[in-house]
Amino acid sequence: MTTIATLLQQYAEHNKLLSFEGTMETIIPGVYFHRATKSSARQPLIYNSGIIIVGQGHKIIHFPEHQIQYGAGDYLVLGVPVPLECEAFTDNDLPVMGIAIDINPAMLHKLVSQMMQHKPIS
């Protein structure tokens, strides 16, 4: 079974990004590729509304009263921009890799509203 990590590694190889560090927009507007070979200390960030998928490594995001850890194969969906603190960790000396997909908050709220109007299938 192909994993997200495998697909991201293939993307990095195909696009000659094996030494790339950071985040860059892909050829698809609003879709970003992220790669970091070293863990990063806790730092303040603003996560934009969208979907963040971790393919390799893991992250911990800190809010004033709690924290959330997510890693390989996990995703985070944010309906609005959120200020927070984040730290990222490599696993088994492999780089942290993931993708982020921007989503227009109004469109996201519309989709969620439409989902709420439908009854669950039993």
- Domain extents for the chain? 4-116
- Over residues 15-48, the pLDDT tens digits come to 999 999 999 999 999 999 999 999 999 999 999 8
Which of 2, 3, 43, 52 is closest to 23 using CA atoms?
A: 52
b/e code 59-86 from CB counts within 10 Å (16+ = b): bebeeeeeeeebbbebebebeeeeebeb
**Sign of dihedral through CA atoms 112, 114, 116, 120?**
negative
Which one-letter amino acid corresponds to residue 31? Answer: V
The predicted pLDDT at position 41 comes to 96
d(CA 54, CA 36): 12
Is the CATH code 3.40.50.2020 the one for domain 4-116? Answer: no
Is the whole-model pTM more than 0.85? no
Count of residues making up the chain: 122
pLDDT in tens, 65-116: 999 999 998 999 888 888 999 999 999 999 999 999 998 878 777 877 887 7
